[in-house]
């Protein structure tokens, strides 16, 4: 069974940083690109970042709205992906979902999400 579990959410002060972790199991992690997608309260889905697999040289991509403040990384030995977000703002308040996809397929598995609240 495919499992994706995000951790590391919580309450953070404006200007602070946060590192989200995503642990996976039940599939060959090395075959997949991993993504973070977020959803602000009552709003739609926003793609945040992607890291490709070894075959694609671990290339990373970021949403323009967050570029410079986010870093995505992965540890294939732990089947895990991470998202570091800095200089947090109130508008970063959201549920952050970890998802997988391949080059030719969409996001077919999602975690339950990690809630991040940015407030003083």
Partner 1 sequence: DIVMTQSPSSLAVSAGETVTINCKSSQSLFGSVRQKNYLAWYQQKPGQSPKLLIYLASTRESGVPDRFIGSGSGTDFTLTISSVQAEDLANYYCQQYYDTPNTFGAGTKLELK
Residues that bind partner 1 (CB under 8 A): 35, 37, 44-47, 50, 61, 63-64, 97, 101, 104-108, 110-113
Instruction: Classify 77 as helix, strand or coil.
Output: helix
Minimal distance in Å, beta carbon 4 to partner 1?
9
Closest to partner 1 by CB, 8 vs 16, is: 8
Dihedral (Cα; 92, 80, 45, 65), 10-degree rounding: 50
Q: How far is the CB of 38 from partner 1 (least distance, A)?
A: 11
- When the beta carbons of 35 and 79 are compared against partner 1, the nearer one is 35
Q: Which of 36, 37, 33 is nearest to 52 (CA)?
A: 33
Q: How many residues does the chain have?
A: 120
């Amino acid at each position: 069974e495919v499992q994706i579990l995000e951790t590391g959410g919580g309450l953070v002060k404006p200007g602070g940083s946060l590192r989200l972790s995503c642990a996976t199991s039940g599939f060959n992690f090395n075959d997949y690109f991993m993504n973070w997608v977020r959803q602000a309260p009552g709003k739609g889905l926003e793609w945040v970042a992607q890291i490709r697999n070894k075959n694609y040289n671990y290339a990373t991509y970021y949403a323009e709205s967050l570029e410079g403040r986010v870093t995505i990384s992965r540890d294939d030995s732990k089947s895990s992906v991470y998202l570091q977000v800095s200089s947090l703002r109130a508008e970063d308040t959201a549920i952050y979902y970890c998802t997988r996809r391949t080059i030719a397929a969409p996001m077919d598995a999602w975690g339950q999400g990690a809630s991040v609240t940015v407030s003083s």
